[in-house]
Amino acid sequence: MESVLQTLGALPWWAYILLFLALLAFRDIFLQRAHTITHNFPIVGHLRYWLESIGPEMRQYFVANNREELPFNRIERGWIYASAKKENNYEGFGTDRDIYAHQHIFVKNAMIGYQLPSNHINQKDPYFLPCAKVIGAYNKRKKPFRPASVINVSAMSFGSLSAAAVESMNHGVRLSGAYHNTGEGGLSPYHKKGGDVVFHFGTGYFGVRTPDGNFSLEKMKQLVEKNPSIKAIEIKLSQGAKPGKGGVLPGAKITKEIAEIRHVEMGKDVLSPATHKAFRNIPELLQLIESIAEATGLPVGIKGAIGKLDQWQELADLMKETGKGPDFITVDGGEGGTGAAPPSFADHVSLPWTYGFSSLYRLFLERGLTERIVFIGSGKLGFPAKAAMAFAMGVDVINVAREAMMSIGCIQAQICHTNRCPAGVATQSKWLQSGINVPLKSERLAQYFKSFRKEFLEITHAAGYEHPCQFTMEDIQVNVDDDYLSSDLKSVYGYQKTAVPFTSLNEFYNCIHLGGKYQ
């Protein structure tokens, strides 16, 4: 033994490298059968796997041009990062976009824009931009709610996001007057930092479930009673990235904390089925909405990605017939994000936002129901010009998920499903999330929302309006083809949105149902 150690000690440094490579080659050829490439090309085969693993970063940093990447290109990400840090978010020298490209949108500016009167609330607060409609007003819910911000945090649960990320977002919405949608994972302590909350549940009924996995109205009622920050309830029918796809929360991932928040047992796999147990058809869905609204006093809405329209038609007909229905409808686009989804779903199931929303809105418009509903849009809408398009089409409020993640440091590594998020945003690793400075990131989310609202107001004023709810389909032009180059939204989608009753932003400031901490 001593002589072996002596021989090893006498070896030069390069001999160790050779020895290591020889052992690696031996292992590649004789000890592993999982990888053909490393078996056939020992040692160098590893390079392929390594290069493949760092490929996305290489392309993102060095190869891709400013407008090339998806889901969000460098210019879009840069605008969010700069806005969140209150840095210079302008671009110099003019646009680098091909403004004749298919689907490019233009906001039509007025000859002379809207001028703020001296006593206008935006003179004092250039970020004040609440929703023009009150959620739950039509259905006379006991506690109607006017979101104090037109941009809000979309459904993302504690579980898919880290505790530090959820906490940063909740402080951030508190600071910016927005609301925070809980996502499917229940109401965690990190959602209780003072921001307005929209409680969201899906087929797993996390946080409001019976031991056998059904929906518990009693638990829902108690949750709302204990948590006055909950301002509305959203029933998830589907989301754009994976409509109709259930999920499994592996027992191994269920910590004591998650078990308590979600009302599930520790150590046992938990299934989120593909469909709901609490209702099987549209009349039962309507019934559920009414019982939750009745029991809690809160506005209740539904979230869905749009594909076939027949059941939506049935819902609209029933709403007309009964005078009841959801207080809000969140329409998610097929381009929407997720913590994890099979590519076949993410890429192909459900329509992109503009197609889905326009067909759905038209359906409610034809039945004279649009005034009763607050329409919420999500699907890469967290940019002022895209928001202008969405408002022109009939949206009243925007929800953002990935844009909110980016504002607190997400670098679009696209590995949310691996628990290895390098930015600590979409991971449960204590080490990775310890890099998140919660007070700083809260400020960033708040600042992104404020910068968004300020720029959105500026675009609105340029178009001659005081509030974006005044945008019409004729105010936005979209490139449709080469010969008939562009057309307004009204001609492209074949409807004109219902005018939203609007008096003044000053009036909204004094509204008793206004969320946030304005009063």
Ligand X SMILES: Cc1cc2nc3c(=O)[nH]c(=O)nc-3n(C[C@H](O)[C@H](O)[C@H](O)COP(=O)(O)O)c2cc1C
Both tokens of 342, joined, read 């099979």
Structure tokens at 372: 């009763």
* Residue from 76, 184, 196, 396 in contact with ligand X (CB under 6 A): 184
Interatomic CA distance for residues 73 and 60, integer angstroms: 9
Least distance (Å) between residue 271 CB and ligand X? 15
Please say which residue, 206 or 495, places its beta carbon nearer to ligand X.
206
Residue 397 CB, nearest approach to ligand X (Å) = 13
Q: Which two tokens stand for residue 150?
A: 């037109």
Task: Give the residue with the Cβ less far from ligand X, 306 or 514.
Answer: 306
- The DSSP code for 11 is S
Asked if 416 touches ligand X (CB under 6 A), the answer is yes
Cα separations (Å) of 362 from 138, 350, 373?
A: 20, 17, 13
Does residue 156 touch ligand X according to CB under 6 A? yes
Residue in 338, 354, 407, 460 binding ligand X, rule: CB under 6 A: 338
Spatial CA neighbour of 441 closest among 407, 413, 411, 402: 407
Quick note: the x/- pattern for ligand X over 350-379, rule CB under 6 A, is ----------------------------xx
Nearer to ligand X, 156 or 289 (CB): 156
393/426 with CB nearer ligand X: 426
Would you say 253 or 517 has its CB closer to ligand X?
A: 253
Q: Does residue 76 bind ligand X (CB under 6 A)?
A: no
List the one residue from 84, 121, 135, 155 that touches ligand X (CB under 6 A): 155
In the complex with ligand X, the residue whose CB is nearer, 426 or 463, is 426
The verdict on 329 binding ligand X (CB under 6 A) reads no
Q: Is 165 in the site for ligand X (CB under 6 A)?
A: no
Rounded to a whole number of angstroms, the distance between the first and last alpha carbons of the chain is 80
**Rule CB under 6 A: which of 230-249 touch ligand X?**
236, 239-240
Burial class (CB within 10 angstroms; exposed 0-12, middle 13-18, buried 19+) of 41: middle
Please state the closest distance from residue 160 (CB atom) to ligand X, in A. 4
3-state secondary structure (DSSP) of residue 243: coil
Nearest distance from residue 244's CB to ligand X, in Å?
13
Q: Which pair of structure tokens corresponds to residue 406? A: 């980016």
| CB 489, min distance to ligand X, A | 20
Phi, psi of 510 (to 5 degrees): -95, 5
Rounded to a whole number of angstroms, the minimum distance from the CB of residue 119 to ligand X is 35
Give the residue, chosen from 299, 334, 336, 384, that forms a contact with ligand X under the rule CB under 6 A: 336
The residue within the footprint of ligand X, chosen from 139, 152, 154, 296 (CB under 6 A), is: 154
Between 128 and 383, CB nearer to ligand X = 383
**Integer Cα distance of 338 and 355 in angstroms:** 20
Q: Which is nearer to ligand X, 373 or 387 (CB)?
A: 387
Residue 377, SS3 per DSSP: strand
Between CA 348 and CA 307 the distance in angstroms is: 11
Task: Copy the structure tokens of residue 273.
Answer: 């089925």
Q: Applying CB under 6 A, does 337 fall inside the site for ligand X?
A: yes
| Total of chain residues touching ligand X, rule CB under 6 A | 27
| Residue in 404, 416, 407 with CA at minimum distance from that of residue 440 | 407
Q: CB-based burial of residue 50 (10 Å sphere; 0-12 exposed, 13-18 middle, 19+ buried)?
A: exposed
Cα–Cα distance measured from residue 305 to residue 273, given in angstroms and rounded to the nearest whole number: 17
Name the one range near ligand X by CB under 6 A: 56-64, 308-316, 397-405, 487-495: 397-405
Contact with ligand X (CB under 6 A): which of 426, 476, 489, 500? 426
Measured between alpha carbons, how far is residue 443 from residues 214, 266, 312, 407 in Å?
Answer: 38, 35, 39, 9
Residues 95-134 vs ligand X: string with x where CB under 6 A? Answer: ----------------------------------------
Out of 38, 122, 139, 160, which residue is the one contacting ligand X (CB under 6 A)?
160
CB of 191 to ligand X, least distance (A): 12
Judged by CB under 6 A, the residue of 80, 131, 173, 400 near ligand X is 400
Give 420 or 517: the residue with its C-beta nearer to ligand X: 420
Q: Cα–Cα distance between 508 and 52 in angstroms, integer?
A: 53
Give the range of 171-179, 278-286, 333-341, 363-371 binding ligand X by CB under 6 A. 333-341
Residue of the chain from 42, 382, 394, 409 that contacts ligand X (CB under 6 A): 382
The single residue among 191, 193, 263, 402 that binds ligand X, judged by CB under 6 A, is: 402
Question: Considering only residues 299-328, where is the footprint of ligand X by CB under 6 A?
Answer: 303
Q: What is the DSSP string of 398-467?
A: EEESHHHHHHTT------GGGT--TTSSS---HHHHTT--HHHHHHHHHHHHHHHHHHHHHHHHHTT-SS
466 is a contact residue toward ligand X (CB under 6 A): no
Tell which phi-psi region holds residue 165, choosing left (phi > 0), alpha (psi between -120 and 50) or beta.
Answer: alpha
DSSP string across 303-325:
EEE-S--HHHHHHHHHHHHHS--
Least Å distance between CB 281 and ligand X? Answer: 21
Can you tell me the distance from the alpha carbon of 178 to that of 518, in angstroms, rounded to the nearest whole number? Answer: 11
Nearest to 242 by CA among 179, 159, 307: 307
What is the binding site for ligand X (CB under 6 A)?
154-157, 160-161, 183-184, 236, 239-240, 303, 332, 336-339, 378-380, 382, 400-403, 416, 426
